[in-house]
Amino acid sequence: MQSLTNRAKPVDRRPMNFMERMYLPAVLKGMSITFSHMFKKAPTVRYPDETRPFSPVFRGLHVLNRDEEGRERCTACGLCAVACPAEAITMEAAERKQGEENLYREEKYAAKYEINMLRCIFCGLCEEACPKDAIYLSETFAPSNFARKGFIYGKKDLLIPDPKTEAADLAKAKGTN
Amino acid sequence: MTIYIDNKPYEAKAGKNLLEACLAAGINLPYFCWHPSLGSVGACRQCAVKVFKDEKDTQGRLVMSCMEGVRDGVRIGVEEATAKAFREQVIEWMMTNHPHDCPVCDEGGSCHLQDMTVMTGHDYRRYHYKKRTYKNQYLGPLINHEMNRCIQCYRCVRYYHDYAGGDDLNVFAAHNHVYFGRDKDGVLQSPFSGNLAEVCPTGVFTDKTLKEHYTRKWDLTMAPSVCTHCSVGCNITAGERYGKLRCVVNRYNEEVNGYFLCDRGRFGYEFVNSENRVTQPLIRGRMSEAVSEEELMHELSVLLSQQKLVGIGSARASLESNFALRQLVGAGNFYAGISETEAYLTRLIVQVMQEGTLHSASLKDIEQADAVIVLGEDVWNTAPMMALAVRQAAMKTAANNAAAQLSLPAWHDAAIKELVQTDKGFLANITVAGSPIDNIAQVTVHAVPDDIARLGFAVAHELSNTLPALANADEKLLQTARQIAAALQQSKHPVIVSGLSCVNSAVIRAAFDIAAALNNTHWKASVAYVLPECNSMGLALMQAPSAERIFDSSNANDMTALILENDLYRYLPQATADAFFSRCSNVIALDSIHNNTTEKAQVLIPAATFAEADGSMVNYEGRTQHYYKVFIPKEGHIKESFHWLNSMRIAKNNRSNGHGLSLDELLHEAEIEMPVFEGVHDAMLSPHYSIHGEHIPREPHRYSGRTAMYANLNVSEQKPLQEEGESAFGFTMEGFKGQPPADAAPFFWSPGWNSGQSVTKYQQEPGGAFKGHIPAVQLFHDKVDKAPVFFKDIPEAFVARKQKWLVLPQYHVLASGELSSYTKALASLLPEACVVLSETDAALLGVRDGDKIRVHPGTTALPVKVHLSLANGVVLISAGLPGTEVYNWGDWVKIEKE
Ligand code: SF4
Ligand code: SF4
Ligand code: SF4
Ligand code: SF4
Ligand code: FES
């Protein structure tokens, strides 16, 4: 049979000679590879104290964005939910009342916004669908949890800290402090 | 005739325009200003196509397809490059000023502008400058205004002003800043204002009640339903999410409501979400009143074994529930929960209609009538959509006359309006105290019921002199009668409208006589009798005696009464209702909302509303219509009344292993038991119906959030709702993906057509009948060669009595049915209850507007309102408003100044 690549080597089926049957050189050879690694740089990091940089296209946990003035950007249009292939997003819209202009950017906002992280496949379609730059997939992933309930993310889990009143928190979340 | 669209031959109907022909042929041609009910004006320039002279013509000319009639053999190009480019450009112009706010806009997802923009292919905006902006107006609690979204198609004004006759919405200013709204902020006055939300192709006018709990169309669970707020029975689509009813929109029905609804029907749904709902079985007088179903059934099996069991049926409950009650208590113990007067009058109407000598007029028949006589009925307030149909009759007759003169096609709205000016078709509006349609009537008469009847009999005499003439009639009345008779004799499709408003049997008889006198060998005259509630006709056909008749039986004491979805205090004077309850040792009430009657019940059972139930209702014309569950309430105890009643029937008969009857079994049983109902089961889609073995899904295929909606309660995905027994509909987005049968479509949608205008795809032609065979279940059949039996007993002329007044109900357009007034938005628009008196009577009593008077028998003092054209000797008292008292309508009362 013709091989697919030209890297195939015929198997050597000669019986082993005496030296080979002692296995000592082979063992030493193996040990030398093992010991040589002690002097090389470790490929693992000390997670969670240390983390690796993510690829710029990594899709992790969602955040709901605010604008520069700290107003929620989401207008509860439902486009993310309709785009979601896992049907993992649900929301309820509410009308912004007078005096709430500093809280919500648009006339309508999400009174309730929930993502079922157990269902989410982190495809990022919600981010792509959002016309208001309101939802982003961040560079963190869902921490482990003892209860499944903990994976239902509501607004309070998703909204980023307010840049005006919680600037420090925001910086911390962004990792820029 | 044959027309060629892009070189393919299509059949087209004569008298249509090219746009209609294209849409009927299933071609996607964008349009805005044309509407099947409003005709064409050519305002938006969106529907451009090329028309070619002949096969050889390659150049062609660009025309607005809505402004050009079909001609045999005409060749048009929809896909022509120039036509397409033109259409795309028109959209781009409109979009220059249209805000980029689809995400915020309530119309999004069911927006004609979105659909048409996508259809033209315009997908990128090149205009980057400042947009024109407007100030929005406050238009009341029902309609929201967001003027920036307007594309100047003029549909709103043409609908509101021309079609519905409203005079407080118009177009202002000029150039590129025309403004559609009121002259100043304020509540829209027309009770048909809700249709603006559907007529406007953009999000300028939207449903404000939906805003309170906004949900996109694609996120709603919907089902075909029927309005329960009056006897017209308009077809609606109701939508739910998270266990709350979110909105009601029009469901097209060619014969009934067409494209529109009244505000009571559209906005009166919120009682379903009311906090006042009965959600738990209650047994009063126990330590803990809320009980489980087992405890309830246990208690009921004791109560139901009582000797004197009576059932009170309801005019607002479904046929199935009424029938189940009748079967439970026995036909002899089944009474109608209405007053004796009302029962007598509805029986008279049923008798007249069953004779078959007259045609029972649908709203479509009324719209197409060329002469309408409204005899004594306050249609505007008791059957709003019928008033709108009467208006169309008057407008269309004039339009048809004008169009015939110059052989203009019927769709050419602007030209016809120009020709018609203020002409109207013949309408005689004969009422007690006038009505808003007076202003389009040729003859308006305000008179007391007996005199209205006399006028009717006089007209009948003029039409056929075999009928008796009035004894000692005054000349003015005879003159009016002659005028009406002359107009009727000239008409080809007259319709006589009457009903119970006058609480007078002579009026009903006179209406019959007029119509029957018009019958000739070629056709039957049409008549429409308005009834008080959505299923009044269904209940009347069951021929049950009224609740007041219970007193007739000698041992009417210690009764166990089972009251079905009925607040007796709304139908009977308080004293009568109290007397009834004092004779009951046990009261079991089934209802959805707490009211005065449920207060009296020892056992209260939570009943489903129309949105949570399946059922059939018979409208005023004898048309049986079926409505389907929109959702199953989360409060697991709420069930359709007939379910409860079936279980009780099993418990009562001690059939331990008996199973409840399913809906269609129940209907079949009813048809056997009462042959008048023959065929009613045809009105519903069989529960076993499926298409290729699949359900019809109640949810659009884009329904979102399924795995997340209830995840906060339980992470495991919930089992989809399942009905007891089978159903043609499923509660999920799974199921048959094609176009469902049009009359049972849970919502209208078609690829590329997300808004309600997608209904075109279900019709044979725009504004025409649905595709496929739709069984119309009419319970009254025209009988050929049946000679009418005329009524000949003419009442004496009315004479005002000393110190006594004839008392009549005055309903309000938003609340003549019981349930709509439980809706917050509508309740805020209801006026204060009052007593209407003539000027002379007010002077006699020494009262002025606003003074309080007391009516005897009765308990509450009410403010006076003086009416300039009301006859002396009559009082009109607000009825149907929350908390208003019920009087012995049509009887004599005393009045006393407070
Ligand atoms: S990332 Fe994908 S699966 Fe997850 S919520 Fe967004 S759209 Fe849904
Ligand atoms: S996150 Fe974006 S797409 Fe989702 S509802 Fe909010 S605004 Fe719309
Ligand atoms: S408000 Fe709506 S219906 Fe009226 S002109 Fe503007 S877009 Fe058309
Ligand atoms: S209240 Fe009557 S007229 Fe109005 S939508 Fe309902 S059925 Fe139609
Ligand atoms: S629809 Fe033809 S011009 Fe508007």
B512 in a structural domain: yes
Minimum distance, in Å, between the CA of residue B136 and any CA atom of chain A: 14
3-state SS class at B772 = coil
Helix (H) or strand (E) holding B762: none
Tens digit of pLDDT for each residue in B147-189? 999 999 999 999 999 999 999 999 999 988 899 999 999 999 9
- Confidence (pLDDT) at A176: 64
Residue B495 dihedral angles phi and psi, to the nearest 5°: -130, 135
Instruction: Spell out the alpha helix ranges (H) of B608-702.
Output: 641-652, 663-673
DSSP B219: G
Last residue of a domain, one of B478, B497, B531: B531
Domain that holds residue B447: 344-531
**Residue A166: which pLDDT band, with cuts at 50, 70 and 90?**
confident
B397/B523: higher pLDDT: B397
Q: Do B323 and B370 share a domain, yes or no?
A: no
In chain A, residues with a C-beta closer than 8 Å to the C-beta of B104 are 75, 77, 106-108
B235/B286: higher pLDDT: B235
**CA dist., res. B354 & res. B356, Å (int):** 5
- Tokens for B163? 């079609």
End-to-end CA distance of chain B: 73
Q: Do B452 and B421 share a domain, yes or no?
A: yes
A79 in a structural domain: yes
In this prediction, what percent of chain B has a pLDDT beyond 70? 99
- Is residue B308 pLDDT above 90, yes or no? no
B279 in a structural domain: no
A116 in a structural domain: yes
User: What CATH number corresponds to the domain at position A164?
Assistant: 3.30.70.3270
A166 in a structural domain: yes
Number of compact structural domains in chain A: 1
Domain that holds residue A78: 62-174
In chain B, residues with a C-beta closer than 8 Å to the C-beta of A86 are 707
B244 in a structural domain: no
Convert B718-754 into a string of H (helix), E (strand) and C (coil): CCCCCCCCCCCEECCCCCCCCCCCHHHCCCCCECCEC
Neighbours of B185 (CB within 10 A): 13
A32 in a structural domain: no
Q: In angstroms, how far apart are the furthest CA atoms of chain B?
A: 91
Least confident segment among A72-76, A122-126, B328-332: B328-332
Least confident segment among A75-89, B670-684, B722-736: B722-736
In chain A, residues with a C-beta closer than 8 Å to the C-beta of B709 are 90
Q: Do B349 and B334 share a domain, yes or no?
A: no
Least confident segment among A15-19, A130-134, B345-349, B451-455: A15-19
A40 in a structural domain: no
**Residue B554: which pLDDT band, with cuts at 50, 70 and 90?**
low
Q: Which-ligand-closest: CA of A59?
A: 1
Tens digit of pLDDT for each residue in B490-500? 998 999 999 99
Contact A81, A89 (CB under 8 A): yes
| Nearest CB to B104 within list A94, A108, A154 | A108
Alpha-carbon separation of residue A106 from A74, B143, B150, B438 (angstroms)? 8, 20, 19, 46
B747 in a structural domain: no
- Is residue B91 pLDDT above 90, yes or no? yes
Q: What is the mean pLDDT of chain B?
A: 92
In this prediction, what percent of chain B has a pLDDT beyond 90? 75
Residue B655 dihedral angles phi and psi, to the nearest 5°: -90, 95
Q: Do B499 and B602 share a domain, yes or no?
A: no
Residue B72 identity (one-letter amino acid) = D
- Cα B334 to the center of its chain, rounded Å: 28
**CA dist., res. B162 & res. B422, Å (int):** 11
Ligand 1 site, residue A84, Cβ cutoff 6 A: yes
Residues facing B865 on adjacent strands? B836
- Closest residue in B to A75 (Cα) is B104
Render B567-579 in DSSP notation, one character per residue: -HHHHS-HHHHHH
- For residues A138-153, average pLDDT: 85
User: What CATH number corresponds to the domain at position B547?
Assistant: 3.40.50.740
Q: Which-ligand-closest: CA of B155?
A: 3
Judged by a CB distance cut-off of 8 A, whether residue B627 touches chain A is no
Q: Do B496 and B348 share a domain, yes or no?
A: yes
Question: Residue for token digits 């964005």?
Answer: A65
- Confidence (pLDDT) at A173: 78
- Is residue B523 pLDDT above 60, yes or no? yes
- Is residue A17 pLDDT above 90, yes or no? no
- For residues B114-126, average pLDDT: 92
Side-chain-facing half-sphere of B305: CA atoms under 13 Å: 9
- Confidence (pLDDT) at B755: 95
- Is residue B657 pLDDT above 80, yes or no? no
Are B715 and A91 within 8 A, CB to CB? no
- For residues B847-867, average pLDDT: 90
A12 in a structural domain: no
User: What CATH number corresponds to the domain at position B881?
Assistant: 2.40.40.20
Ligand 5 site, residue B45, Cβ cutoff 6 A: yes
Minimum CA distance residue for ligand 2 atom 5: A76
Ligand 4 site, residue B204, Cβ cutoff 6 A: no
Q: Do B365 and B507 share a domain, yes or no?
A: yes
**Residue A177: which pLDDT band, with cuts at 50, 70 and 90?**
low
Buried b (16+ CB within 10 A) or exposed e, A44-58: eeeeeeeeeeeeeee
Name the E strands within B211-347. 221-226, 235-241, 244-250, 282-283, 309-313, 334-336
Q: pTM for this structure?
A: 0.92
Tens digit of pLDDT for each residue in B435-482? 999 999 999 999 999 999 999 999 999 999 899 998 888 899 999 999
Last residue of a domain, one of B696, B711, B741: B696
Chain A: residues touching B (Cβ < 8 Å):
75-79, 81-82, 84, 86-95, 106-108, 114-116, 118-119, 131-132, 148-149, 151-152, 154
Are B708 and A87 within 8 A, CB to CB? yes
B81 in a structural domain: yes
Last residue of a domain, one of B476, B499, B531: B531
**CA dist., res. B529 & res. B231, Å (int):** 10
- For residues B650-674, average pLDDT: 78
- For residues B329-355, average pLDDT: 93
In this prediction, what percent of chain A has a pLDDT beyond 90? 57
Residue B364 dihedral angles phi and psi, to the nearest 5°: -65, -40
- Tokens for A81? 């939910």
- Is residue B614 pLDDT above 80, yes or no? yes
Minimum distance, in Å, between the CA of residue B713 and any CA atom of chain A: 8
Q: Do B449 and B569 share a domain, yes or no?
A: no
In chain B, residues with a C-beta closer than 8 Å to the C-beta of A108 are 104, 214
Which positions 309-368 of B are in contact with A (Cβ < 8 Å)?
Answer: none
Q: Do B303 and B421 share a domain, yes or no?
A: no
- Confidence (pLDDT) at B774: 80
Q: Do B861 and B879 share a domain, yes or no?
A: yes
- Confidence (pLDDT) at B726: 78
Number of compact structural domains in chain B: 4
Minimum distance, in Å, between the CA of residue A148 and any CA atom of chain B: 7
Q: What is the mean pLDDT of chain A?
A: 89
Centroid of ligand 1 to alpha carbon of A76 (angstroms): 16
Residue B483: CB partners within 8 Å, gap ≥ 6? B442, B443
- Confidence (pLDDT) at B215: 95
* B-interface mutation test, from A77, A90, A105, A135, most B Cβ less than 10 A away: A90
Are A78 and B704 within 8 A, CB to CB? yes
Name the E strands within B417-479. 426-431, 443-446
Size of the A and B interface in Cβ pairs below 8 Å: 80
In chain A, residues with a C-beta closer than 8 Å to the C-beta of B216 are 78, 82
- For residues A130-134, average pLDDT: 95
**Residue B208: which pLDDT band, with cuts at 50, 70 and 90?**
very high
A23 in a structural domain: no
Convert A114-161 into a string of H (helix), E (strand) and C (coil): EEECCCCCCCCHHHHHCCCCCEEECCCCCCCCCCHHHHEECHHHHECC
- For residues B550-573, average pLDDT: 86
Render B168-214 in DSSP notation, one character per residue: S-EEE--GGG-EEE-SSS-----TTGGGHHHHSSSSSEEEHHHHTT-
Minimum CA distance residue for ligand 1 atom 6: A126
A160 in a structural domain: yes
